[in-house]
Chains A and B, each alone.
Chain A
Amino acid sequence: MKNVDKFRDAFKEEARELLSGLETSLMALEEEPDNNEEISRTFRAMHTIKGSASMFGFDEISKFTHELENILDRVREGKLVLTSKLISVLLQCKDHILELLADDSPDDETLSRSKELLAAAGDASGSAVRVPGAQAAVVLPSGPAGTVVADDDEGSAVVEPAEKEGDWDPETICTYRIRFFPKKEIFANGTKPLNLIEELSSLGETTIVPYFSDLPAIDKLDAESCYLRWDILLTSSKNPAEIHEVFLFVQDTAEIRIERIDSPNDSTDAEDPRIGTILVNRGIVSKEDVEKAISKQRRLGEVLIEGGVSRDEIRSALLEQSHVKRTREKVQGDTSGNTIRVASDKLDSLVDLVGELVTLQARLLQTVDAVSGDNAQLIAISEQLERLVAELRDSTMSMRMLPLGTTFSRFKRLVRDLSQELEKDIDFLTLGGETELDKTIIDKLSEPLVHLIRNSIDHGIEKPGDRQRAGKPAQGRITLSAEHAGASVLISIEDDGKGLDVERIRAKAIERGIISAGVDLSRNDLYELITSPGFSTAEQITQVSGRGVGMDVVKLQIEELGGTLNIWSEPGMYTKFILNIPLTLAIIEGLLVDTGGERFIFPLTLIEECIELKNEGANRKSSEILTHRGELLPIIDLRQTLAIPGSVPGTQQVVIANTIHGKVGIVVDFVIGGHQTVVKSLGRLYRDAEGISGATILGDGSIALIVDAGKLAKMAAQATMAEVT
């Protein structure tokens, strides 16, 4: 990948983040249109995207965002009010910029969409927005344009107009020093110097350095003479000819000198320019003058001013130094910052390697136990390695953790757009956005969460009139919350809508053949029927929540993440979907146990304690109830549940796990101890194995199955309930 491609990719990533923030701000402004902080934030986001897009050669984005920036500028100035209509258009524009980011060569349709959206934005803002390309054509005089012709001794390249244009790599980013010294009479032919500077600013990032020294006192001032002059520092992907075009009509009324002074992406090892060097490059002083000034051991600028160099020149050189430094940092990425960007596939690869290392370390530990005898040194090395691998594992896993809030903000937009479409008034509340989850899980959670929220909007929340007739506030509420619970994160989506209709669910389930007519199910079991394959019907699937994905698929997607989906509802009051999602899918701390010679792993975070269980000859049922610490504890026998052959030892152990379905005691033959577990998928063939959620490879190369304690707790509770009834 070429260097510039990396910068362009970095720009795209930064732009996506800015757009995400922009969306959040726009939606906050919909609720609080006068929030100046949010208004400034939206403007800054658009301004940054525009400037960077121009710098990296994304011309269409630059043009598009320039118009939007103008609108937001007027909002910032208080000249425009952010109406809901304008916010809607701006949100569509944000989506369009995302599309433009994804498409390096936008086709005619995309370009036409840009025009449509800008026209809509103009309409919504109550004024015509200039649509790029729609203005009257201007025929430029033909002839060669300016380009870089030679590098001088000091590293600057002088751009002479009317020289033949050479090959120019459009991905090259350069910093130019543009000297724009208008003649006094420039106003006479109608030239507006500030318009030229504005046009130049639209080409990239600029620092405008005015020279005020010729400006007379008021009694000597002639209103129709121009006294100001400028050095303009421009960092842009535009070629010199394009820059020169800006000054095409003022060549006779201004001194124009364009010099290339830096290539930010090629200056990774270069020192930041010194003031003395800049002044020498500009021809203001000689190298000898600078050396002489430095030898006086005073501030260089002061000495040179005393020697006759103008303050304007010194100031301009200082601002050039700062501009070059800033643009280098921006283009190269801020290496002095505390964060770096790493592609997620590199992190995935690191996690895989750490997984292999964990397995190998377990094997080493086992081998050392078997062969080292009393070799204390070998044991110490093995233990030290174990600690290091555990630390490496934790560090690696923490790198993949992201706050869920990054996903939450997307849903705000979803709720906003859908509620408007369905004419419902919905307040969307998010809690616990700072809760972190493995990036892989967050990515996979997005689709089921979208579906559940769509369901809440479409089927849960009633229309305002219906709500008022039911004695509720006209505005409904959907709450999306997340919180840590041991090694899991609980995510809930709750709406204060009409709740689930158990009778309709029962009737539909019977009609679909999912249950028999005579079966008596608890309310919660009936709720769970909506996640059965085939429960979704054409009648239910609306354009909004249907999308061809039923609740069974949602449940499956959650289970594929090792999670569970629970549904709670109260007719007329609420529906709540609770997702219990593991923090990570990759490596967990486990408790290794043995039953009938087979090894199993329990996720350690679920385990409360292990107790002994004496068998007194009689065959125990696969599930029963034990009194423990004054509480009734359902227990389930792993051997019987999984049909493991072999004789039952006289003394077994009960692993007590605390799960979302309550506490459960799981009877195993004996506990071996803690084990770092690299979680491997069971594959499609064993996906439906009840009570098993995955597998891992042990140090000796054998396989241990990972127990789904939550599922076993549910089975135990159901068995107990059946026995009681």
Chain B
Amino acid sequence: MDQNILVFNFPESAKLENAAEILKDLKAAWKTKKTLSLNLGDVEAIDLSVVQILLSAFKSAALQKRELMVLDPVPAAVFEALKLTGFVVDPSGGAQGLVDAISHYQMEGVL
């Protein structure tokens, strides 16, 4: 594994109960200045509070021109939560599809 890449693991239950802790850990990881690679593979349940953290991370990456990666696989629960959020993304595209969709929203200037 590249030393400059830090994998950030989201827990199985990515919900409001854990949101503060997830955010705290992510902020800490963010400060390392390493390239972050988000691993959502273990997520079984995710709610809006953590979806916001995920989207905010991408917003920050765009603002700071930092690279942010997403690892495959991205569980269906994540795509389902994004769909309900109104985020249009095709689950069959996996992690790359998710990153591309976020880039699209950023190019539109809405994220």
A interface with B by C-beta (< 8 Å): 73, 76-79, 187, 192-194, 197-198, 201, 208-213, 215-219, 221, 223-224, 226-228, 230, 311-312, 315
Contacts and interface: CB of A to CB of B under 8 A. Distances in A.
Chain A interface, >50% SS class: mixed
Interface string B22-60: 110011001000000000000000011101110111011
B111 to A, nearest CB: 5
B108 interface: yes
Contact of B84 (A194, A216, A223, A311): A194
A210 B23 contact: no
A601 B79 CA distance: 68
Report which residue of B52, B55, B64 has the largest number of chain A beta carbons within 10 angstroms of its beta carbon. B52
A218 B108 contact: no
B87 A215 contact: no
A226 B48 contact: yes
Given A194-B84, A209-B86, A228 B110 contact: no
A228 B85 contact: yes
6 contacts: A197-B85, A210-B87, A211-B110, A219-B27, A224-B16, A228-B52
A217 B84 contact: no
Given A187-B16, A194-B84, A215 B55 contact: yes
B85 A218 contact: no
B6 interface: no
Nearest to B58: A218
Contacts of B64: 217
Contacts of B30: 218-219
A79 B53 contact: no
A218 B53 CA distance: 7
Interface in B66-96: 75-76, 81, 84-87
Contacts of B75: 77
Interface residues of B, number: 33
Contacts of A210: 85-87
A76 to B, nearest CB: 8
Contacts of A212: 55, 59, 105, 110-111
B37 to A, nearest CB: 16
A194 B48 contact: yes
Nearest to A40: B92
A176 to B, nearest CB: 16
B63 interface: yes
Given A194-B48, A210-B86, A224-B16, A315 B108 contact: yes
B47 A194 contact: yes
Contact of B56 (A216, A224, A312): A216
Contacts of B86: 197, 208-210, 230
A446 B16 CA distance: 58
Contacts of B85: 194, 197, 208, 210, 228
A529 to B, nearest CB: 59
Closest 3 CB pairs of A and B: A208-B86, A77-B76, A210-B86
A223 B53 contact: yes
B20 interface: yes
A188 B59 CA distance: 25
Interface string B97-111: 000000001001111
B59 A217 contact: yes
Contact of A197 (B23, B60, B63, B84): B84
Contacts of A228: 48, 52, 85
A192 B111 contact: no
B72 to A, nearest CB: 14
Nearest to A196: B84
Interface of B: 16, 19-20, 22-23, 26-27, 30, 47-49, 51-53, 55-57, 59-60, 63-64, 75-76, 81, 84-87, 105, 108-111
A215 B19 contact: no
A187 B110 contact: no
Given A194-B47, A194-B84, A210-B85, A221 B110 contact: no
A219 B63 CA distance: 12
A696 B48 CA distance: 74
Given A215-B56, A217-B60, A223 B49 contact: yes
B47 A224 contact: no
Nearest to B84: A194
Nearest to B111: A212
Contact of B109 (A197, A209, A227, A311): A311
A224 B55 contact: no
Report which residue of A73, A187, A221, A312 has the largest number of chain B beta carbons within 10 angstroms of its beta carbon. A221
A559 to B, nearest CB: 53
Contacts of A230: 86
B104 to A, nearest CB: 12
B110 A218 contact: no
Given A212-B55, A223-B20, A311-B110, A218 B27 contact: yes
B47 A215 contact: no
Contacts of A208: 84-86
A201 B83 CA distance: 11
Given A194-B85, A215-B55, A223 B108 contact: no
B76 A312 contact: no
B48 to A, nearest CB: 5
B8 to A, nearest CB: 12
A226 B47 CA distance: 11
A93 B57 CA distance: 44
Nearest to A210: B86
B47 A192 contact: yes
B52 A215 contact: yes
Given A197-B86, A215-B55, A223-B16, 17 more contacts: A194-B51, A194-B81, A197-B84, A211-B110, A217-B63, A218-B27, A218-B53, A221-B23, A221-B56, A223-B49, A223-B52, A223-B53, A224-B49, A226-B48, A226-B52, A312-B110, A315-B110
A187 B48 CA distance: 9
Nearest to A76: B76
Contacts of B53: 218, 221, 223
A76 B76 CA distance: 9
A447 to B, nearest CB: 43
Given A192-B48, A197-B84, A226-B48, A215 B23 contact: no
Contacts of B49: 187, 223-224, 226
Report which residue of B16, B20, B51, B64 has the largest number of chain A beta carbons within 10 angstroms of its beta carbon. B16
Contacts of A201: 84
Contact of B52 (A73, A78, A227, A312): A227
A224 B52 CA distance: 10
A215 B108 contact: no
B11 to A, nearest CB: 13
B20 to A, nearest CB: 4
Nearest to A207: B86
Nearest to A218: B60
Nearest to A194: B84
Contacts of A223: 16, 19-20, 22-23, 49, 52-53
A224 B16 CA distance: 7
Contacts of B19: 223-224
A76 B90 CA distance: 13
Nearest to B109: A311
A194 B81 CA distance: 7
Nearest to B77: A77
A224 B60 contact: no
A207 to B, nearest CB: 8
Nearest to A227: B52
A211 B57 CA distance: 16
Contacts of B47: 192, 194
Nearest to A230: B86
